[in-house]
Structure 1
Amino acid sequence: MNDTPLFAGFDDLLAQALAGALGPDPAGLYAVGAFWVRQSTQFPGTTQKYRNYYLVLRVDAAFGACCLEPGQLDSAAAEALSGSDLASLLRDERLAVRVAALDAYLAVIRPHREAASAQALWLPLGTPLERARVRDAAIASLLRIAPGQKVGLIGVVNPLVEAIADQGGLCLPCDFAMQRTANGIAVVREMEPVLDQADLVIATGMTLSNGSFDRILARARQRRIPLLIYAQTGSAIVPRFLGQGVAAVSAEPFPFSQFSADPTPVWLYRTP
C-alpha cells in the first residue's frame, strides 16, 4: 500500500513540499551545484538521432534532473541557480527549474536505496545499446503486457518499442520529435487518441517538464488503466504517485545510463 497522501498532480505535490508536509523545510536545503547538459545519441545502423538537454541540480548527496524541450531553458541559466535554497527554486517561474528542484528535494529526503518498494536493477557493463535494451526490457516487463494489448507509448525510445513487441503488445507511439519508429510504426503527435485507445500506457518522465504529466495521470485514473512512467526526469517525483494512478515506475537518477559504461542502477517500483 502507498503510505503517502493522495496528490492531485505535480503542483499539489510541490505545494506539499513547500509547506513542509513531506519532510524538512526546503528553505534549509541548497543547490550547491547546477549544470546544463546537451547530449545526443544515435545507435549504429539507425537514422534516428536522439537529442537531449538536461538541467541538473546537486543537493547534498542527491541530484535532481529535468530533461528539457529544445529551447525551453537557456544553457547559461544554470549558472545563476547554484547557491539558491530549494524553496526559492520550487517557486521559480520556470517549470523546468521547479521540476529539477522538487526532484532533488525528494531524492534527498527519501533516496531510492531506502525505499522499501524499490528494487535495484543494475545495468551491465556494456555498449549504450546493450544497456538500453536491458533497461527497456525491464521497463516493459513491469506491466506484464498481454499479447494483443494496445500499449500507448508517450515519448518514443526504439528499444522500448522492441521490448513491447517482444511481449506481444501493439505499440501506439506518440512523440513530438519522431515520425516513425525504427520498425516503421507511424508516430502521432497528439496524445489524446492514444490515451483513449490504449489498454495501458507507458510514458516518459519528460511529461513533467512539458506539462502533460497531470493530464496523463488524470486520464489513467479516469479509465482505470495501468500507467507506467520511465523517468530520468523526476525519478524521485514519480514514485510519490505509485498506487495513485501510477502502477509502476522505472526510476533512473542522475548520472544516467548513457553517461556511463559501468554498472549503474535503475530502480523499479510496482504496485502490488
Structure 2
Amino acid sequence: MSAVVTDLVDQVRAGAFGRAATEETISVGFMTRQGVRHDTRGTGYRNHVVSLRVGRAVGSCAVEPGTVDDDLVYDCVGATVDALFDHPVLAVRVAALDAFLMAARPHEQHATDNVTIDPGTSLEKSLLRAGHVVDLLGAERGQRVLVVGVVNSLLHHLRQRGIDYRPCDLRGGTTEWGEPISNDADLTGCDAVLATGMTLGNGSFETLRAAAADAGVPLVMFAQTGSAVLPRLLGAGVTAVCAEPYPFFWLDGGPTVLHRYREAR
C-alpha cells in the first residue's frame, strides 16, 4: 500500500473514525465482471472488480481480468475488517478499507457536492460522468494533462475543451483516435494529472502521488476503486476526487450518483 494509505489504515485501527475495525465484519463479498463496447466506439474493454460489504456500505477495488478468483473473495466473508488489512492480496486490503470508510464517512454527508447522472445508454452515461470528472481539473485550453488509466470518454471531453493530454495505461494500446498509449507515467510538460483509483489497487498510486507533489501539479482522481479512501487523502497529495461507489454507472441505465470532493483552500 501507499505510505499515506498505510497511515490511513493505522488511523482506522486507532479508532480515529469512531468505529472499531476489529468489530466490523464483511457480510458480503462478490466479484463483478463486465465487458463493454459502447455504440459508435471502435474498441471495447473489460472490468473485473472485487467488492466487500460492511453494513450498508460496499467497498470496491478493480483488478486486472483473471487475477482474482471467486473463492478468494468468498473467503473474506465473515472476516473482520482489521484482519483483512493484513490480507496478502492488495485488492482485498483496499476494498476492505474502502467499505469501512464508506460506512464511517458516507459520501452523501461528506462530499463537496453530489451529482446525479441522468438515465441513458452506456455511452450517454459514460460521457456525462466524464464531463463532471474533467470539470474538477480546472484545466484551460492549451494546457496538457497526464491521464493515467485511459477512458476514451474523458479524452473526448479534454479534446472538446482544447486540452492536450498524454494517455498512460498499464495495458498500453491506442486511444479511440489512434494515439499510442504509454505505460510510463511521465509528467514532463504536464500541468495536471487525472488518474484512476485503480492505481490504489495495482500499487502505482504512491509513485504517482509523489511525482505530482514534486512537480507541483494538481492530482485529480476518478474513483470507482477506493471511492471512500481517496477523499481522505485530500491535502496529502490529492487535489480533488470524483467518487463513484458501487453500483457503477455501467451497471444501470437509470440514474446514478457521483460524489465530488475538492481540497479545502
Query: What TM-score comes out, normalization by structure 2 length?
Result: 0.95
2:29 equivalent in structure 1: 34
For the 8 Å contact 1:99–1:209, the answer to whether it is kept is: yes
Which segment drifts farther, 19-28 or 79-88?
19-28
* Match of residue 185, structure 1, among 179, 184, 190: 179
- Residue 192 (structure 2) aligns with: 200
Cα separation, 2, equivalents of 1:252 and 1:178: 24
Does residue 262 of the first structure (1) align with residue 257 of the second (2)?
no
User: Deviations along 1:49-89, whole A, 9 cap, x unmatched?
Assistant: 21110110111011000001233322321111111111111
Partner of 1:3: none
1:92-103 correspondence to structure 2 within 5 Å:
92-103=87-98
Matches of 2:143 and 2:224, distance apart in 1: 26
Instruction: State the alpha-carbon separation in 2 of the partners of residues 148 and 260 from structure 1.
Output: 35
Matched residue SS, 1:144: coil
Give secondary structure in 1 for the equivalent of 2:258: strand
10, 14, 38: which is aligned to 1:15?
10
2:59 to 57, 64, 71: 64
Match 2:129 to one of 135, 138, 141: 135
Question: What SS does structure 1 have at the residue aligned with 2:227?
Answer: coil
Shift of residue 219 of structure 1?
1.3
How does the TM-score come out when normalised to structure 1? Answer: 0.93
- Over aligned residue pairs, what C-alpha RMSD do you find? 1.4
Q: Deviations over 1:170-198 (max 9, x none)?
A: 0100012241110222210111x2x2332
Tell me which residue corresponds to 1:49: 44
**Secondary structure at 1:28's aligned position in 2?**
coil
Compute the displacement of 1:30 (Å).
Answer: 0.9
Residue 144 (structure 2) pairs with residue 173 (structure 1): no
Which stretch of structure 1 is more off in the superposition, 233-242 or 211-220? 211-220
State the distance in 2 between where 1:66 and 1:269 align.
19
CA drift at 1:8? 4.5
- Number of paired residues? 263
Query: Counterparts of 1:108 and 1:23 in 2: how far apart (Å)?
Result: 11
Partner of 1:152: 146
Q: Hey, which bits of structure 1, 4+ residues long, moved more than 4 A?
A: none
Aligned to 2:105: 110
Aligned to 2:244: 252
Paired AA for residue 34 in structure 1? G
**1:19 shift after superposition:** 2.6
Unaligned runs of 5+ in 1: 1-6
Deviation at 1:48, TM superposition (A): 1.6
Amino acid at match of 1:159: S
User: Quick check: 1:112–1:118 contact (8 Å CA) kept in 2?
Assistant: no
**SS in structure 2 at match of 1:35:** strand
1:232 alignment partner in structure 2:
224
Task: After TM superposition, give the deviation of residue 255 of structure 1 in Å.
Answer: 0.7
What amino acid sits opposite 1:125 in the alignment?
Answer: P
Deviation at 1:129, TM superposition (A): 0.5
Q: Which of 208, 211, 214 is matched with 1:216 structurally?
A: 208
Match of 1:4 in 2: none
